[in-house]
Amino acid sequence: MKIFLLNPYFRKAEAPVPSLGLLSLATYLKQNGFNDVTVCEPGLSGISEEAAIEAAIRSDIVGVSCYTDTRFEVIDFATKLKKKNPQALVVLGGCHAGFMSRQIMGKYQVIDYVVDGDGEIPLLKLVKGETKDKIEGLYYRENGAIKNVSPRIRRRFPTVAIDYTILESELSSWKDMEAPQHLMSLKHLPVIVSKGCPYDCSFCATQALGQWRQAGAETIFNEVRRLRDNYGAQYLRFYDPLFAGNDRDIIRFCDLAEKEGLTDVKFRIDIRADMKFDVLKRLKDVGLAVVGFGVESGSDKVLADSNKRITRRTTFEAIENIRKLDLWMIGYFILFLPGETDEERKATLEMVSYFDEYNLQYFKIYPGTDYYQRFIRDGLMTDEYWFDPAKDREMVYCRENFPSCPYPIDKIIRTTIDNSSPFWRDYITKAEKSTI
């Protein structure tokens, strides 16, 4: 059984990251005896769409990750693949496919299956040839009708200890591009030890990905040790949206790491601004070097409207705490959130200078978010939006897309670019050229 898994990101990315989701699926299939699994990462390897189709063509199952930004690339790839090999079975997963599963199955005959939620078990069952009506989370067709089974327990699967040899050459020189220069010579690896998030910020789809599941202290400890000992990792970029969501577990992890002398791996985590100083300090004791957190806005009104549950004051306290610990500090910002005034945007931009590195984004709407629900309620959008090729990646909240938004796209892009560091200015300019 030949299985091909693709992250269809064919644009050259400035700071590409491997899909931990696909690596997790591939590892799980291998653990269960299916060894002929390829993970294709065009963003990392530079492989073209044509070459990826050629590589996929003789596979029994072709699995493709489908996120909102890449939804049309996914369909384009599947259409071209099916033209060359109508027998290829195409299965989609990933959060956009999950949010829009029934509609995707209804609109695109080139898609044979959609998996809603964690893909490990459904994909394994599919590969094993189990009866479709027993595969939870799977959408399939039967006599022209779209069917699926009990989606409710689909998002409870824990994280998998990834086999990084699956992408050995792509990962050999992989770096977290936002890390400080003095950590760049270390061997970097990306890792994740949780799924979901217990918070529910209005612009974020993570909240809709199901119950928050985080590995316990021992599992995190074992994972850090495994990555150091088996792969020579010296710097880990944890991609968990919220690494330290459970103080007790995190302190236990730090105690364990200290007791066992596992303090030589540097790492980066994302936190919330309200994280306790003592917990952060303990993490620093065992290797924490880089901290990122979502400031989002410099306006308490915008923060409250986004349900961030953080205030400007909390953010400044976090900045002070992180500075005290001499950690490299990265801020994530969102400009042009609905209702934001020019003054409020100015307040946001003023905060950027407190950070060593920052990521300045403009607001985009994604399915699975509270803002999307609000836009639907207000009659501004429907699910059809995601299937209109004319709106490919144009989920930017701008006047051209939403007449009630006061800002034209040009102003949004210019403001974001003009206020970005050279790295991000370059990154955004390139991204915009290919997306807008």
Positions touching ligand B12 (CB under 6 A) are 7, 9, 17, 19-22, 24-25, 63-65, 67-70, 91-96, 115, 118-120, 123, 157, 159, 192, 195-196, 204-206, 209, 239, 241, 361, 366-368
Rounded least distance, CB 159 to ligand B12, Å: 6
Give the residue, chosen from 59, 65, 148, 206, that forms a contact with ligand SF4 under the rule CB under 6 A.
206
Work out what residue 104 binds among ligand SF4, ligand B12, none; the CB cut-off runs from 5 to 8 Å by kind: none
User: 88: number of CA atoms within 13 Å, CB side?
Assistant: 29
Task: Report in angstroms how near the CB of residue 207 gets to ligand SF4 at its nearest.
Answer: 5
Residue 8's binding partner among ligand SF4, ligand B12, none (Cβ under 5 to 8 angstroms by kind) is: none
Q: Are 285 and 254 in contact (CB under 8 A)?
A: yes
Among 179, 168, 195, residue whose Cα is nearest residue 38:
168
Q: Which residues contact 367 (CB under 8 A, 6 or more apart)?
A: 68, 96, 99, 100, 205, 383, 386
Nearer to ligand B12, 38 or 255 (CB): 38
Determine phi and psi for 254, rounding to 5 degrees.
-65, -45
Sign of CA dihedral 190, 195, 198, 203: positive
CB of 338 within 8 A of CB of 371? yes
| Partner whose binding site includes residue 331, from ligand SF4, ligand B12, none (CB under 5 to 8 Å by kind) | none
Long-range contacts of 391-397 (CB under 8 A, 24+ apart): 392/72, 392/435, 393/69, 393/72, 393/435, 393/436, 394/436, 395/68, 395/364, 395/365, 395/366, 396/362, 396/363, 396/364, 396/436, 397/336, 397/337, 397/338, 397/362, 397/363, 397/364, 397/365
Binding residue count for ligand SF4, defined by CB under 6 A: 11
CA–CA gap between residue 187 and residue 174 (Å, rounded)? 8
- With 0-12 / 13-18 / 19 or more C-beta atoms within 10 angstroms meaning exposed / middle / buried, residue 289 is buried
Least distance (Å) between residue 208 CB and ligand SF4: 9
Instruction: Work out which of 192, 204, 289, 428 binds ligand SF4, going by CB under 6 A.
Output: 204
Burial grade of 249 (CB within 10 A; 0-12, 13-18, 19 or more): middle
Binding range to ligand SF4, per CB under 6 A, among 146-154, 157-165, 199-207, 393-401: 199-207
Element (H, E) at 227: helix 217-231
Q: In the complex with ligand SF4, which residue's Cβ is closer, 45 or 361?
A: 361
Q: Are strands 3-6 and 61-65 parallel, antiparallel or unpaired?
A: parallel
For residue 225, the surrounding DSSP H or E stretch is: helix 217-231
Binding region for ligand SF4 (CB under 6 A) out of 63-71, 122-130, 204-212, 405-413: 204-212
Tokens 């409710």 correspond to 152
Name which of ligand B12, ligand SF4, none residue 120 binds, using a CB cut-off of 5 to 8 Å depending on partner kind. Answer: ligand B12
Contact partner, 200, from ligand SF4, ligand B12, none, Cβ < 5-8 Å per class: ligand SF4
Min dist. Cβ of residue 241 to ligand SF4 (A): 3
Strands 288-296 and 266-271: parallel
Of 194, 207, 299, 315, the residue at the interface with ligand SF4 (CB under 6 A) is 207
- Three-state DSSP state, 364: strand
Of 147, 143, 158, which is closest to residue 101 (Cα–Cα)?
Answer: 147
Kindly identify the residues of this chain, within the stretch 24-63, that bind ligand SF4 according to CB under 6 A: none
Considering beta carbons, is residue 251 or 417 the nearer one to ligand B12?
417
* Strand residue runs (E) in 143-263: 145-148, 188-191, 194-195, 213-214, 235-238
Contacts of 68 (CB under 8 A, 6+ apart): 95, 96, 366, 367, 386, 395
The minimum distance between CB 11 and ligand SF4, in angstroms, equals 24
Closest separation in Å from C-beta 363 to ligand SF4:
13
- The minimum distance between CB 122 and ligand B12, in angstroms, equals 6
Question: Shortest Cβ distance from residue 122 to ligand SF4 (Å)?
Answer: 24
- By a kind-dependent CB cut-off of 5 to 8 A, residue 123 interacts, out of ligand B12, ligand SF4, none, with ligand B12
Nearer to ligand B12, 222 or 251 (CB): 222
Tell me which DSSP letter residue 333 carries: E
Q: State yes or no: residue 199 binds ligand SF4 (CB under 6 A).
A: yes
In this structure, what token pair is assigned to residue 293? Answer: 């957190």
201 or 381: CB nearest ligand SF4: 201
Per-residue binding string, ligand SF4, 259-298, x by CB under 6 A, is -------------x---------------------x----
Binding mask 153-192 for ligand SF4 (x = CB under 6 A): ----------------------------------------
In 368-422, beta strands by DSSP E: none
**Beta carbon nearer to ligand SF4, 200 or 317:** 200
Provide the binding-site residues for ligand SF4, judged by CB under 6 A: 197, 199-201, 204, 206-207, 241-242, 272, 294
